[in-house]
Structure 1
Amino acid sequence: MGVAKKQSAKLTTDMFEDVPVLRRKWQAALKPGERLPRYEDVMLGSLGRLADHMVLLNGDNDAFAVSRTGRYAQKWLGDERWDIPMHVLPPDCATVLTEAASNAVKNSRPYQAVAHCVRDGMVRTYDVLALPTFSRWGGTLVGTYVNERGAQYNLLDAIFSTTEDGVISVSTIRDASGAPSDFQIVHHNEGAAKLLKVPAQGLQWRRLSEGGHLLCSELVVARLREAVAKGVRDQFEIDSDERSLRLGVTAFGDILSLTISDVTPLKRREASFRLLFDSNPMPMWVFDPETTGFLKVNDAAVQHYGYSREKFLSMKIREMWPQDEWVSHSQALRHLGEHYQSGRHWRHLRADGSEICVLTFGRRLSFEGRNAYLVAVVDITERLKAEARIAYMAHHDGLTNLANRELYQERLQQALEGGNADGKRVAVLCVDLDLFKNVNDSYGHPMGDRLLRQVADRLQSHVHGNNLAARLGGDEFAVILTSIASPNETSDFAGRLIHVLSQPYEIDGNEVVIGASIGIALSPGDGMSGEELLRNADMALYRAKQDGRGVHRFFEPEMDRQAQKRRDMELDLRHAFANGEFELHYQPLVDIASGRISGFESLLRWRHPEKGMISPAEFVPIAEDIGLITSIGEWVLREACNEAVKWPDQVKVAVNLSPVQFRSRNLVQVVISALANSGLSPKRLELEITESVFLAETEANLAILHQLRELGVSISMDDFGTGYSSLSYLRSFPFDKIKIDRSFVKDLAKRSDCLAIVRAISGLGRSLNITTTAEGVETVDQLDWLRAEGCNEVQGFLFSGAKPAAEVEQLLFRFGARSSKAA
């Protein structure tokens, strides 16, 4: 009960907070001189969780249709479809949506209404706020917010607390001024339809303004308005067709419960029992509280429970109870008062032996001159199953059916508490699939999802007992091993698991091969809390992937130190960019034939105020991981172009691009902006990329490279000869330059294989008309070998290391280039 109250209080609090927020947002979007704000200014951009509660209506006056709905609104409507007419919705939802939208449009301002929906015998009250807007495509769009109030009303309570005769519930419909203007029938029993002489199907959802029965008279409508206004009970009689009907009215906010009794003396008893019992679709019976025998059952009870009427009337009520509930049922029976309502759900037995879960409601009455008890039954079996399913889904991954992160953390905490008490270890294993991204990229995400399900099946088959396998997200899994005897036992398990997960998978006729890497943390040495163990296991996983993948690694304290160092560097990096601690140095590129500087490669440097110069090898990978490299790369482009425009016209500037910069999809615009702002000719800008640009999203990245090439910019392949160095890269894009990696130049005079590779790359460049540049030239012998093999360009310490911009002019003078721009 405490949880339910908290949830109810939260719903009410959210409603009271959300409605003012939406009103203010609508008002803030309304511009002077305009009748309505724009749809985009109100409904797009910052609704957050409120978007789940929105129903977007299009149309005007009373002709509205549902265009879009949020997840919460879809549950309220019972319909997940979009672009549907209003008449296909439940009438109670359609009525209030039309009312709110019509009044909002007519008044050109937000309009708040109240909806009363009946579900499973419960009246649920919803606040509905309509926000009228105009669309740039023409017409009116009404964003309608829906949220449930905390209070609910039970119609069964109203049935048993007011009358045994006809029962009708009506909801109040208010006009634009907020005054009650009409009433709509939202619930009734069959007896009410008979007393009013209207077919049941013609009564449900009818408005009283439509006429056709006694309740539509001016007298009745006036008394209903008064009851709503004062919130009091009322009782009066109306006469028609030689009958005298008594109407009892009870107000529950905007919901009115009407009881109708035929008080004609000869028909009173017959009518009251027939209306509430015989034709009621709810299973009902009358029993003797002394003998506990059944005295009468209705057709609904016979059909629902499967006992014949004769069998029912020969039974004791105890025969419907499971034996393990006899005591609790009997105690409840001994304490029956004038009225009864279930404080819990009960289990009942049907004729076929199956069990159902029910709520029961009753009242004491006189039946055929004896003390008796009338009982009505609500079967909640399916509702409980749905709730159990929801609870299961809240703790399990929807794709793989493994435990999700929430359940994993709960079970890990339980295992740690049990292990600490017994002095036993608990192992946490973080499992990451190797090459899974390649499967998604090659076969698509549906194939990736099927692969994840097969991985989950293999995990389930090897994780037994109190141990647990979970999916934490993406291709990340985790395992809890309880009561571990030794690290060797965990190591053996991890090795077996890697072997199992690395076996080929058969999916849609395709053989898919992936691998797995595992990081391990053991309590209590690697952590006492679940959070600490999971964090340390994740660090061990990172080490396993660094060590070549397909292996498992245990957590070591050094990993934590490295992780802390990385976190510190991430923080320093963000401060460095904000504080302008980066600078560019320039290393000359020398044309072998002329001996002159043909260009400079711009190299990023970080001058830390306390640690001094930090190597790019240390900070660039981290900047790429945290996404800062995109901003840094834009700064490098601008700075290099601004500097190069001061050099002689024949001298180029080379700028390295990170593969991460291609993901932003605005790289071409960044290059155009840097050239435009600096005034540098595109022909003097050379962009260097590595082969990793081709390893992901090849088509999109190729398109970007072609756009850059069309600008007149040169494109260079860096570090050629290492990694894959696929010749298909040279076919897929016409590079202007390929740079021979320094590792081949270093041993050029000592190793014949290095010479052969340099010779092959140089020959390839000549055949394809691509300039070849050798990196890392440090000796005259290396330069002579490169010249002999036909290499076009060189760079390295033999000529100069990377220098600050202020020293570029001196380098140009030293190599015979003019120190100022050519005339």
Structure 2
Amino acid sequence: MTAAKKMPGKPAAEMFDDIPVLQRKWRAALKPGERLPRYEDVMLGSLGRLADHIALLKNDGVLELSRSGRYVQKWLGEERWDIPVAELSPDCATALSEAAGSALATGRPHQASAHCVRDGMVRTYDVLALPTSSRWGATLVGAYVNERGAQYNLLDAIFSSTDDAVVSLATLRDAGGKPFDLQVVHHNRSAGELLKVASGSLLWRRIGEGSTLLASPEVMEFLLKAVSGGRGEQLEIESEARYLRLSATAFADVVSLTISDVTALKRRDASFRLLFDNNPMPMWVFDAETKEFLSVNDAAVQHYGYSRATFLRMKLHEIWPEDEWDSHAEALERVGDAYHSSRNWRHLRADGSEIEVLTFGRRVAFDDRDGYLVAVVDITERRKAEARIAHMAHHDGLTDLPNREHFQERLKQALGQAGGKRVGVLYIDLDLFKNINDSFGHPVGDRLLKQVAERLTIAVRGANLAARLGGDEFAVILAADVSPNEASACASLLIDMVKAPYDLDGQEMVIGASIGIALSPGDGTTPEELMRNADMALYRAKSEGGGVHHFFEREMDLQAQRRRDMELDLRRAFANGEFELHYQPLVSIASDRISGFESLLRWRHPDKGMISPAEFIPVAEDIGLIIQLGEWVLREACAEAVKWPVDVKVAVNLSPAQFRSRNLVQVVISALAQSGLSPKRLELEITESIFLAETDANLAILHQLRELGVGISMDDFGTGYSSLSYLRSFPFDKIKIDRSFVKDLAQRPDCGAIVRAISGLGRSLNIPTTAEGVETEDQLDWLRAEGCNEVQGFLFSAARPAAEIGKLLADFGQRTSRAA
């Protein structure tokens, strides 16, 4: 390496002094109110020796070299003036342009560094750009240039800094001219480190006489072969747990040897092979240009069914279905260094079957070829599972018929496509199904529902749809501009099909069907309206005894609206305190005195006045308000009764819903405690409906109430199915004869016989009897003659508000006194 001659110039220390001098001179020349100092104030006058280092640049749209000192001319290798800076040598042009551009942009001096290569030597220059204004209008930049620090040889720097060992070898030949050894004539620092020898100990050594890996027979043979061949050779060896790659090129008898440590590369390759070959996920590498398979792992061979040899003779498109060739090819054109599937793809296996996959890839170099490493995820089973889940989301799990959600979607679609034509909705409810389900169990009931679904599927075809909405409720969409007659005929057909006998394990079973029909647009234009109105028509069909179909009528909607209004009014009424208790006297026949009062709930509506309990009590039971109302009635009745004479009782009716709430006993205890009323003065009236479900639990509650000392009365006796058996189940304190038997005592002998029988039964069981609905003296005389103990009815008094009870008691007392 030869030392480069230095260009004439000042030592580095002096140069560093020049830049502050020029910067101070520029600032001193800048006058207040001016953006730039004048050119002549900065560049003319006392520059002296610095003038050789100045280049004058003119910026008049294009940056030009206007003048240059001798030092600058040598640096540029150019003595011409008034030429564009762009025509100068690129390294100098770049340095001047960037410095001048920054100075012009900021309006301030700008200092930069420039690295220029001359004859393989790298020199560093400082460039200071001083922007100025001129009297001719153009902006002038004075650029000061001077070399900084020592030079260095570029090739030596690269040669010395590389991690690869670079060794120059001279060939040694024997007397016959045959090469037999090589001598180290030069090497870089990394050679000593890689060959593990002291610095300088290799130089001028014959490698055959040394102990380094270069002396091994394998390496010696490789180097001598390079000398004989005169072309580049490569060899990979393993030495002391390292992998080394040797590259040798001979120029006559001089060999250039490069040794690279590829241990990390080999380990990465081994890791890749481990992850690739043993990966359970199908993987392959394909050529980025030809699309040929370059390598496949065992999982791909096993999953796709092609042998490895067959795979490696194939191209990518051979595993694509033909209808996806274009889309696959377009997707490959768009991939970069890494990609993942933007969609699901179909691939062909060796047996012709298709699988659905996601693919993930990364660009890799493989055996010196540009390729892509691809991993494949088979989602065929997942997609099947998703399809099954989607099917399940829209179909009934038991019958596989469309479910309610699917039904609503199809109905919405049918209405949207109807264009004003009729679409019919048939709501179907199975008659007597509950009896079979309760008697034979749910498995038999489920099998029966499946057979019903099969019959519906046979009957409902084309654009029409049959669905199971839940339980024993089904529905049908008639979408083909159906007329009322056609809808009626379809409903009759379905009823006939459903009621035909079913054979379940050799046992014949018979059920029926009731159907409600709604037709658009007259009965509704939305799925919600049609389904609601068909449901109301079904309710009418069921109320007529079942086994029939019924069309929706507007009156049904009015009734339903009245029902909805009542529900809203009921909830508000309870919150607003619109309920009140009236009391009807119970009169002892023997003493002709009031023995008690039955509390009766009344609703005083602010707009509609008094509303009959027959209207609002069933609604309160349906919406769950009856439990809260029942508790209020108990508390209110007890609180009022405590004001009456101690021998006067109060009777309160209980709803089956209060028994289901399971806190009835606590409610009674609380009402008695808060009011201070003796339990013996409280009678609770029940109907036999509480025994229709959870009989044992309800009997247990009755026994708990009786243990408190509270009386229990059987209300409306004789109107149910099993009244006598209930008398055996529980020791009632009173039997109340229903008003329907009392009303016709004089006109119907059978009513008299029933009343006589109930009264006699009461005497036999030592249970007092009370007759309801007594309105005439004849009825009273008849009941007295039959031994009835107590009566109530309009003959004595209608139900009265609590404020009138005192007067009522007083009036009865006076009547009794007169009678005495």
Give TM-score scaled by structure 2 length: 0.63
Match of 2:756 in 1: 759
Code of the aligned partner of 2:692: L
Does 1:597 pair with 2:602? no
Does 1:784 pair with 2:781? yes
Q: Contact 1:262/1:271 (CA < 8 Å) preserved in 2?
A: no
Q: Contact 1:648/1:819 (CA < 8 Å) preserved in 2?
A: no
* Structure 1 stretch displaced more, 616-625 or 686-695: 686-695
Residue 808 to residue 341, structure 1, CA distance change in 2 (3 Å):
closer
Match of 1:348 in 2: 347
SS at match of 2:479: strand
Residue 613 to residue 327, structure 1, CA distance change in 2 (3 Å):
same
Match of 2:699 in 1: 702
1:300-319 counterparts in 2 under 5 A?
300-319=299-318
Q: Contact 1:429/1:537 (CA < 8 Å) preserved in 2?
A: yes
SS at match of 1:647: coil
Residue 362 to residue 579, structure 1, CA distance change in 2 (3 Å):
closer
Q: CA RMSD in A?
A: 3.2
Match of 1:391 in 2: 390
Correspondence for 1:537 among 525, 529, 534: 534
Q: Contact 1:607/1:613 (CA < 8 Å) preserved in 2?
A: yes
Residue 370 to residue 675, structure 1, CA distance change in 2 (3 Å):
closer
Correspondence for 1:553 among 531, 550, 553: 550
- The 1-side partners of 2:242 and 2:477 are apart by 75
Match of 1:470 in 2: 467
Q: CA deviation at 1:416?
A: 0.5
1:67-216 counterparts in 2 under 5 A?
none
Deviations 1:545-590 (A, max 9, x none): 3333443322211122112212222222122222222221111222
Residue 397 to residue 637, structure 1, CA distance change in 2 (3 Å):
same
Residue 708 to residue 463, structure 1, CA distance change in 2 (3 Å):
farther
* Structure 1 stretch displaced more, 270-279 or 401-410: 270-279
Residue 270 to residue 558, structure 1, CA distance change in 2 (3 Å):
closer
Code of the aligned partner of 1:574: R
Residue 583 to residue 373, structure 1, CA distance change in 2 (3 Å):
closer
Q: Contact 1:809/1:819 (CA < 8 Å) preserved in 2?
A: no
- The 2-side partners of 1:607 and 1:722 are apart by 30
Match of 1:814 in 2: 811
Code of the aligned partner of 1:469: A
Does 1:670 pair with 2:685? no
Correspondence for 2:641 among 641, 644, 663: 644
Code of the aligned partner of 2:580: E
Correspondence for 1:728 among 703, 725, 728: 725
Residue 240 to residue 580, structure 1, CA distance change in 2 (3 Å):
farther
Match of 2:650 in 1: 653
Answer with 1 or 2: which has the greater Rg.
Answer: 2
Residue 746 to residue 309, structure 1, CA distance change in 2 (3 Å):
same
Q: Contact 2:411/2:477 (CA < 8 Å) preserved in 1?
A: yes
- The 2-side partners of 1:271 and 1:489 are apart by 77
Correspondence for 1:428 among 425, 430, 437: 425
- The 2-side partners of 1:470 and 1:609 are apart by 45
SS at match of 2:429: strand
Code of the aligned partner of 1:242: A
Q: CA deviation at 1:785?
A: 2.4
Q: CA deviation at 1:515?
A: 4.4
- The 1-side partners of 2:408 and 2:552 are apart by 19
Code of the aligned partner of 1:415: A
SS at match of 1:815: helix
Match of 1:586 in 2: 583
Code of the aligned partner of 1:348: H
Does 1:623 pair with 2:620? yes
Residue 752 to residue 804, structure 1, CA distance change in 2 (3 Å):
same
Code of the aligned partner of 2:478: L
- The 1-side partners of 2:665 and 2:452 are apart by 41
Q: Contact 1:650/1:684 (CA < 8 Å) preserved in 2?
A: yes
Match of 2:564 in 1: 567
Number of residue pairs matched by the alignment:
565
Residue 758 to residue 567, structure 1, CA distance change in 2 (3 Å):
same
- The 2-side partners of 1:700 and 1:444 are apart by 22
SS at match of 1:613: strand
- The 2-side partners of 1:266 and 1:373 are apart by 18
Q: Contact 1:604/1:636 (CA < 8 Å) preserved in 2?
A: yes
Q: CA deviation at 1:449?
A: 5.3
Correspondence for 1:716 among 713, 717, 721: 713
Deviations 1:689-711 (A, max 9, x none): 12221222222222212211222
Deviations 1:329-374 (A, max 9, x none): 2333455554443221111111222211112233444544555444
- The 2-side partners of 1:345 and 1:572 are apart by 57
Match of 2:298 in 1: 299
Q: Contact 2:717/2:737 (CA < 8 Å) preserved in 1?
A: yes
Residue 451 to residue 652, structure 1, CA distance change in 2 (3 Å):
farther
Residue 709 to residue 329, structure 1, CA distance change in 2 (3 Å):
same
Q: Contact 1:427/1:482 (CA < 8 Å) preserved in 2?
A: yes
Residue 433 to residue 470, structure 1, CA distance change in 2 (3 Å):
same
Deviations 1:781-805 (A, max 9, x none): 2222223333222221222221222
Q: CA deviation at 1:456?
A: 4.0
1:250-329 counterparts in 2 under 5 A?
263-264=262-263, 267=266, 271=270, 274-288=273-287, 291-329=290-328
Q: Contact 1:576/1:582 (CA < 8 Å) preserved in 2?
A: yes
Q: CA deviation at 1:619?
A: 0.9
Q: Contact 1:812/1:818 (CA < 8 Å) preserved in 2?
A: no
Match of 1:496 in 2: 493
Give TM-score scaled by structure 1 length: 0.63
Residue 262 to residue 696, structure 1, CA distance change in 2 (3 Å):
farther
1:410-489 counterparts in 2 under 5 A?
410-420=409-419, 423-434=420-431, 452-489=449-486
Unaligned runs of 5+ in 2: 1-237, 245-259
Does 1:774 pair with 2:771? yes
Q: Contact 1:675/1:681 (CA < 8 Å) preserved in 2?
A: yes
Match of 1:381 in 2: 380
Deviations 1:23-45 (A, max 9, x none): xxxxxxxxxxxxxxxxxxxxxxx
Q: Contact 2:684/2:713 (CA < 8 Å) preserved in 1?
A: yes
Identity among equivalent positions (%) equals 79
Residue 266 to residue 584, structure 1, CA distance change in 2 (3 Å):
closer
Unaligned runs of 5+ in 1: 1-238, 246-260
Residue 801 to residue 320, structure 1, CA distance change in 2 (3 Å):
same
Deviations 1:612-642 (A, max 9, x none): 1111111111111111111111111112122
Code of the aligned partner of 1:650: D
SS at match of 1:790: coil
1:225-244 counterparts in 2 under 5 A?
242-243=241-242
Q: Contact 2:734/2:768 (CA < 8 Å) preserved in 1?
A: yes
- The 2-side partners of 1:458 and 1:243 are apart by 79
Residue 733 to residue 336, structure 1, CA distance change in 2 (3 Å):
same
- The 2-side partners of 1:796 and 1:594 are apart by 17
Code of the aligned partner of 1:614: I
Code of the aligned partner of 1:653: V
Q: Contact 1:262/1:268 (CA < 8 Å) preserved in 2?
A: no
- The 1-side partners of 2:763 and 2:481 are apart by 64
SS at match of 2:684: strand
- The 2-side partners of 1:583 and 1:742 are apart by 24
- The 2-side partners of 1:816 and 1:737 are apart by 24
Code of the aligned partner of 1:264: T
Q: CA deviation at 1:667?
A: 0.9
SS at match of 1:593: coil
Q: CA deviation at 1:509?
A: 8.3
